[in-house]
C-alpha cells in the first residue's frame, strides 16, 4: 500500500471481506465442497503436470499456488506446476504436442490453443458452465479460444496493457487529460518531446508491448492484415496512413526504441528517462513497491488507448489461455482444475494477488475487488471488453498466431519508422509474408 | 624305433577349405567395424538423423503441432524471393567474415605474445581463456547491458568525460548493432584461436629460430619464414572450426538482440528459429537452416583440400 492510512486499511479490509477471500482452512473447506458438487470428478490417483508462464507479480504466484494446494487437498490430484518464461511456453508446449507426452495443461500466450487444434481437449462443457455462472465471456477472449463452436482452451485472464504516463509531464505539456483521439495523441507526444520529457513505444520484437501498440495504430486506421475471409489486405491506403502516423509518432520518441524488448520500456520509465509508454500495470506496481520511487508512483497514471479514425476501440490485449492436451491421462481432473481456477472464491483472490496485472474475461468479475483497491487500477478492468482478437477481423487460428509470432506487422512499422524501407516496400514485404502464412 | 604310428589322443583336425565365415571372422577390418559401431551409432542417431530429418522437413510444409505433406522445393523457392532471408544470409556472411578475420589477427598476435617467456605466463594463459569459458548467455546478457541504448556504461562514461552529449544508440541502430554483436563474438572467440595457435607455436623447434638468428634474420623475417609456414596446418584447423562456430552462432545474437533491430542482426540460425519454433512454420525454418549447408560445406572443403597439400601439412613448398 502506498499510503497506509486508516482509510486505505478500511478499503482494503472491506475489499477482502467482500471478496469472501478465503485463506487456509476456509479455502480448503470451500475446495472440498466444490469438489463434491463439481460436474467433473478427478480420476482417482490423478497426476497433473501444469506448465504456466512465469509470474510477473510474486503475489499472483502465491495466490495461484494456494489455489493449487487447495485443489490437491480436495480432489487428491497430484499437482506438479512449473513456470517457464512467457516466450518459452509456446515452444515447450509445441514439443509436448508433437511428442504426445510431458505436460497435461499448458497456460501461455494468446493463441496457443490455435497452434495445435487437433491435440487439445475440447472444453465446451467447462466454458458453458463458467459462462452461465458468471455473466458470459468477453468477445475477444472467447474468440481467441474457440474454433467454430468448440472451445480449444479456456481464457482465465487477459494481460491488460495500457498507456502509462507521468501526469507532471502531461501538465507541463499543457494537457489536462490524456488525449482520446489520434491527432490529440500525436500532439501530446510532440509536446512531450519539446519539453524533453519524451514518450517511447517499442519498435523491436517485444511480444506484448510492440504488438499491442502497433496493432492498435494499424486497426485504428481501419487497416487490417486480413479481411474476414482471411484474404490478405495489408497493402492498402489505410495502412499507408497508419505508417505515416506511426512515423510522426516515432520521431518524437526517445532514441533506441527499435531495440526494445518487453522489459526495456519498464526499465527506461522506472529510471526516469521515459514519460509515456504502453505497458501492463507492472511499471506502476514496481514503483509502488519501492519506497524510493514514491514520487514516481504518485505521478504515474494510466489511460485507455485513444480511439482512431475508425471510431471505436481497436486494442490488442494478450489473452493467456489455458489448454489441456487430449493425450492427458486425466481429462476430468484437468477440466475440474480449470473450472476451479475461475470460481469466485479463488478468482477474486487471485486477481487481487496479481494487483491489476490480469484482467477478468467473465463479465461478472467487473465488480471484483481488485478494481476498487486502487483507483488507478480501474483502467485495466476494461482490457478484455475493449480488445479485439489477435487476428483483427480475420479468423482466429494458427495462421493468425503465426503472423503475430513472426512480427510481420511490427517489422513493417519498424522498417518504415527507422527509414530502412519506404512505405511501398514495407507494405509489399508484409503482404508477401502474410500471403505465405495464409496460403 | 617304433614304426607304429601312434594314435594321437586328440583327433586330428580336418583340413578343409577356409569358408567365407572363417575369412570374415579373422579379418581385422570386420573386427574394426564392430568396434566402431557404438561411436557410429551415436553419430548417426544424434547427428546424421537430425540432419537428414531437417532436410526432409524442409521439403514439407510441416508446422509445429501437425505433420506436413511433401511439397518439394516450394519452401526454397519462396525463400529465394524473401528479402529478410537474403538479409540474414548477408548478415551471416558479414558477421562470419569480419569476426573471423579479426579473431585470427588478434588471436595470432596474442599467441605470439603468450609464447614469450615471461613471469606468471601460466596464469596469464589461463586468464586469457576466461572469455571462452564463461557461458555464452551470461556474457551476452552482460554485453546487452553494456550496449543498451539507455543504460550503456560506455555512453555514461563518455558523457561524464564530456566527449558526447547524447547516449549512443548502440543496439537500436542497424550498423551499431552489427558492430556490437561482432565485437561480442570476437571477445568470446579470440581465446579459442589464441590458445590453439599457442599450442602450435610451442611445437616449432627453437633450433630453427636459433639458426635463423645466427644467419641474421630480423624478427619479422623469423615470423614470415619460420613461424608462419610451420603454423599453417594449425591455422587451417582452428580457422575452420572458428568459421563453422561463428557461422552457426545462435546464442549470442539471440540473447543480445533477438535478431533486431529491424532484422539487422538476424543470422540464418536465429531466423530459422524464429520462423520454425516461434512462428510454428517448421518446414520453412528447416529450409533456412538447410540453406546453411552449402556454405559450411564450402568452408570445410577449403580446409580439407588445403590440408591435403603438402605445403599445408609440412609447411614447405609443394614440390
Inter-axis angle of helices A24-37 and A58-75, to 10 degrees?
50
Alpha helices in chain B (DSSP H): 20-26, 28-43, 49-58, 74-80, 83-115, 121-128, 130-133, 136-146, 153-160, 174-202, 206-214, 219-222, 228-247, 251-256, 268-273, 282-290, 292-308, 310-314
Place of cell 604310428: B5
For residue A2, the model assigns a pLDDT of 46
Q: State what percent of residues in chain A have pLDDT above 70.
A: 94
Q: Residue A278, SS3? A: strand
B258: closest chain A residue by CA? A205
Provide the whole-model pTM.
Answer: 0.83
Whether A3 has a pLDDT exceeding 50, the answer reads: no
Beta bridge partners of A318: A159
Place of cell 489511460: A303
Query: What cell was used for A301?
Result: 497514471
User: Closest by alpha carbon to A106, among A346, A321, A319?
Assistant: A321
Cα A332 to Cα A318: distance, rounded to the nearest angstrom: 27
Cα B298 to Cα B304: distance, rounded to the nearest angstrom: 10
Q: For residue range A375-431, what is the model confidence (pLDDT) as tens digits?
A: 999 999 999 999 998 888 988 877 888 888 889 999 999 999 999 899 999 999 999
What are the Cα distances from residue A113, in Å, to A93, A146, A154, A432, B279? 10, 9, 9, 26, 14
User: Per-residue confidence of chain B (319 residues) as pLDDT tens digits?
Assistant: 556 667 667 777 777 777 888 777 778 888 889 999 999 999 999 999 999 999 999 999 888 767 789 999 999 999 999 999 999 999 999 999 999 999 999 999 999 999 888 888 889 888 999 999 999 999 999 999 999 888 899 999 999 999 888 888 888 889 999 999 999 999 999 999 999 999 999 999 889 999 999 999 898 998 988 898 888 888 988 999 999 999 999 999 999 998 888 899 999 999 999 998 888 888 999 999 999 999 999 988 888 887 777 655 565 554 4
What are the Cα distances from residue B287, in Å, to A6, B83, B282, B293? 64, 15, 9, 10
Cα B133 to Cα B148: distance, rounded to the nearest angstrom: 24
Minimal CA separation from B191 to chain A, in Å: 29
Whether A7 has a pLDDT exceeding 60, the answer reads: no
Q: Please indicate whether the domains covering A6-158+319-381 and A162-316+406-437 agree at the CATH topology level.
A: yes
> Which residue in B63, B181, B261, B288 has the most chain A C-beta atoms within 10 A of its own C-beta, making it the best mutation to test that interface?
B261
Strand A47-53 and strand A78-84: the pairing is parallel
Instruction: Please tell me which of A182-186, A354-358, B225-229 the model is most confident about, judged by mean pLDDT.
Output: A182-186
Cα A47 to Cα A51: distance, rounded to the nearest angstrom: 13
The domain limits of chain A are 6-158+319-381, 162-316+406-437
A408 touches B at CB < 8 Å = no
Cα B147 to Cα B35: distance, rounded to the nearest angstrom: 51
CB contact under 8 A, B65 and A406: no
Beta bridge partners of A319: A158
Q: Which residues contact A21 (CB under 8 A, 6 or more apart)?
A: A345, A348, A349, A352
Average pLDDT over residues A349-363: 91
For residue A220, the model assigns a pLDDT of 95
- Residue A1, class by beta-carbon neighbours within 10 Å (0-12 exposed, 13-18 middle, 19+ buried)? exposed
CB contact under 8 A, A256 and B263: no
- The whole-chain average pLDDT of chain A stands at 88
Cα B289 to Cα B113: distance, rounded to the nearest angstrom: 39
What are the Cα distances from residue B29, in Å, to B17, B20, B42, B43? 21, 14, 20, 20
CB A361 within 8 A of CB A157: yes
A119 touches B at CB < 8 Å = yes
Residues of B in contact with A271 (CB under 8 A): 150-151
Query: What cell was used for B161?
Result: 568525460
For residue B65, the model assigns a pLDDT of 66
Please name the helix (run of DSSP H) or strand (run of DSSP E) that holds residue A414, with its range, or none.
helix A408-417
CB contact under 8 A, A429 and B83: yes
Cα A275 to Cα A415: distance, rounded to the nearest angstrom: 24
User: Closest by alpha carbon to B134, among B198, B180, B192?
Assistant: B192
For residue A303, the model assigns a pLDDT of 94
Query: What cell was used for A294?
Result: 514514491
Nearest residue, CB atoms, B260 vs list A116, A205, A402 = A205
User: Predicted ipTM?
Assistant: 0.78
Selected from 3.40.190.10, 3.40.50.850, 3.30.565.10, 3.40.50.800, the CATH number assigned to the domain covering A162-316+406-437 reads 3.40.190.10
For residue A305, the 8-state DSSP code is P
For residue B314, the model assigns a pLDDT of 60
Residues of B in contact with A418 (CB under 8 A): 174, 261-262
- For residue B10, which phi and psi values (nearest 5 degrees)? -95, 140
B279 touches A at CB < 8 Å = yes
Cα B66 to Cα A95: distance, rounded to the nearest angstrom: 11
B274 touches A at CB < 8 Å = yes
Residues of B in contact with A261 (CB under 8 A): 258
How many residues in chain B?
319
CATH code reported for the domain at A6-158+319-381: 3.40.190.10
The domain limits of chain B are 82-314
Whether A177 has a pLDDT exceeding 50, the answer reads: yes
Residues of A in contact with B80 (CB under 8 A): none
Cα A383 to Cα A158: distance, rounded to the nearest angstrom: 7
A86: closest chain B residue by CA? B278
- For residue A46, which phi and psi values (nearest 5 degrees)? -70, 145
For residue A20, the model assigns a pLDDT of 43
CB contact under 8 A, B167 and A255: yes
For residue A297, the model assigns a pLDDT of 93
Conformational region of residue B216, where left means phi above 0, alpha means psi within -120 to 50, and beta covers everything else: left
List the end-to-end C-alpha distance of chain A, in Å, as a whole number.
Answer: 52
Task: Tally helices (H) and strands (E) across chain A.
Answer: 21, 13
CA-based Rg of chain B, rounded to a whole angstrom?
Answer: 28
CATH code reported for the domain at B82-314: 1.10.3720.10
Amino acid at each position: 500500500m502506498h499510503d497506509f492510512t486508516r482509510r486505505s486499511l478500511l478499503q482494503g479490509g472491506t475489499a477482502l471481506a467482500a471478496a469472501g477471500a478465503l485463506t487456509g482452512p476456509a479455502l480448503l473447506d470451500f475446495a472440498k465442497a466444490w469438489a463434491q458438487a463439481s460436474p467433473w470428478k478427478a480420476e482417482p490417483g490423478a497426476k497433473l503436470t501444469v506448465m504456466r508462464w512465469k509470474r510477473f507479480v510474486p503475489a499472483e504466484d502465491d495466490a495461484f499456488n494456494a489455489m493449487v494446494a487447495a485443489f490437491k487437498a480436495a480432489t487428491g490430484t497430484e499437482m506438479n506446476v512449473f513456470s517457464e518464461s512467457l516466450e518459452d511456453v509456446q515452444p515447450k508446449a509445441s514439443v509436448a504436442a508433437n511428442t504426445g507426452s510431458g505436460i497435461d495443461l499448458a497456460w501461455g500466450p494468446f493463441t496457443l490453443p490455435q497452434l495445435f487444434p487437433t491435440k487439445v481437449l475440447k472444453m465446451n462443457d467447462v466454458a458453458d458452465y463458467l459462462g452461465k455462472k458468471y455473466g458470459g465471456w468477453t468477445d475477444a477472449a472467447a474468440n481467441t479460444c474457440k474454433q467454430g463452436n468448440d472451445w480449444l482452451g479456456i481464457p482465465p485472464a487477459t494481460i491488460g496493457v495500457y498507456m502509462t504516463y507521468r501526469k507532471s509531464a502531461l501538465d507541463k505539456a499543457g494537457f489536462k487529460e490524456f488525449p482520446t483521439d489520434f491527432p490529440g495523441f500525436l500532439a501530446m507526444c510532440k509536446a512531450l518531446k519539446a519539453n524533453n520529457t519524451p514518450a517511447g513505444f517499442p519498435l523491436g520484437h517485444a511480444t506484448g508491448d510492440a504488438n499491442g501498440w502497433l496493432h492498435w495504430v494499424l486497426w485504428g486506421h481501419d487497416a487490417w492484415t486480413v479481411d474476414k475471409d482471411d484474404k490478405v489486405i495489408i497493402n492498402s491506403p489505410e495502412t499507408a496512413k497508419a505508417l505515416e502516423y506511426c512515423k510522426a509518432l516515432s520521431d518524437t520518441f526517445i532514441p533506441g526504441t527499435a531495440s526494445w524488448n518487453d522489459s526495456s520500456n519498464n526499465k527506461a520509465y522506472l529510471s526516469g528517462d521515459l514519460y509515456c509508454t504502453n505497458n501492463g500495470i507492472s511499471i506502476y506496481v514496481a514503483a509502488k513497491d519501492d519506497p524510493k520511487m514514491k514520487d514516481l508512483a504518485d505521478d504515474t497514471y494510466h489511460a485507455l488507448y485513444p480511439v482512431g479514425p475508425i471510431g471505436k476501440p481497436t486494442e490488442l490485449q494478450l489473452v493467456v489461455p489455458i489448454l489441456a492436451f487430449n493425450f492427458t491421462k486425466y481429462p476430468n481432473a484437468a477440466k475440474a482444475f480449470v473450472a476451479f481456477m475461475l470460481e469466485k472464491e479463488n478468482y477474486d483472490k487471485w486477481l487481487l494477488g496479481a494487483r491489476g496485472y490480469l484482467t477478468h474475461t467473465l463479465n461478472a468479475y467487473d465488480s471484483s475487488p481488485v478494481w476498487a483497491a486502487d483507483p488507478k487500477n480501474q483502467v485495466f478492468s476494461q482490457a478484455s471488453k475493449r480488445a479485439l482478437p489477435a487476428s483483427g477481423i480475420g479468423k482466429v487460428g494458427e495462421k493468425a498466431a503465426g503472423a503475430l509470432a513472426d512480427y510481420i506487422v511490427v517489422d513493417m512499422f519498424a522498417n518504415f519508422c527507422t527509414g530502412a524501407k519506404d512505405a511501398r516496400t514495407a507494405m509489399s514485404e508484409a503482404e508477401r509474408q502474410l500471403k505465405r502464412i495464409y496460403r | 624305433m617304433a614304426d607304429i604310428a601312434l594314435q594321437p589322443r586328440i583327433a586330428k583336425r580336418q583340413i578343409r577349405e577356409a569358408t567365407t565365415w572363417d575369412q570374415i571372422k579373422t579379418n581385422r577390418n570386420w573386427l574394426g567395424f564392430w568396434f566402431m559401431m557404438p561411436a557410429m551409432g551415436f553419430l548417426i542417431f544424434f547427428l546424421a538423423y537430425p540432419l537428414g530429418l531437417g532436410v526432409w522437413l524442409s521439403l514439407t510444409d510441416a508446422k509445429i503441432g501437425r505433420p506436413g505433406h511433401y511439397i518439394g522445393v516450394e519452401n526454397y523457392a519462396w525463400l529465394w524471393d524473401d528479402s529478410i532471408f537474403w538479409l540474414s544470409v548477408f548478415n551471416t556472411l558479414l558477421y562470419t567474415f569480419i569476426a573471423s578475420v579479426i579473431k585470427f589477427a588478434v588471436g595470432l598476435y596474442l599467441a605470439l605474445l603468450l609464447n614469450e617467456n615471461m613471469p606468471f605466463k601460466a596464469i596469464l594463459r589461463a586468464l586469457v581463456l576466461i572469455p571462452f569459458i564463461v557461458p555464452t548467455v551470461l556474457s551476452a546478457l552482460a554485453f546487452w547491458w553494456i550496449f543498451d541504448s539507455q543504460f550503456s556504461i560506455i555512453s555514461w562514461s563518455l558523457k561524464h568525460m564530456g566527449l558526447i552529449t547524447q547516449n549512443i544508440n548502440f543496439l537500436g541502430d542497424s550498423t551499431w548493432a552489427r558492430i556490437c554483436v561482432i565485437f561480442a563474438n570476437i571477445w568470446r572467440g579470440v581465446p579459442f584461436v589464441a590458445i590453439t595457435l599457442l599450442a602450435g607455436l610451442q611445437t616449432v623447434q627453437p633450433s630453427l629460430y636459433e639458426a635463423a638468428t645466427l644467419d641474421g634474420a630480423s624478427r619479422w623475417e623469423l615470423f614470415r619464414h619460420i613461424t608462419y609456414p610451420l603454423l599453417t596446418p594449425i591455422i587451417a584447423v582452428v580457422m575452420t572450426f572458428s568459421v563453422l562456430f561463428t557461422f552457426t552462432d545462435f546464442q549470442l545474437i539471440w540473447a543480445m538482440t533477438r535478431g533486431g533491430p529491424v532484422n539487422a542482426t538476424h543470422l540464418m540460425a536465429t531466423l530459422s528459429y524464429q520462423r520454425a519454433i516461434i512462428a510454428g512454420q517448421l518446414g520453412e525454418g528447416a529450409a533456412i537452416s538447410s540453406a546453411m549447408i552449402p556454405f559450411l560445406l564450402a568452408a570445410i572443403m577449403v580446409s580439407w583440400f588445403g590440408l591435403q597439400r603438402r605445403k599445408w601439412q609440412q609447411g614447405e613448398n609443394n614440390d
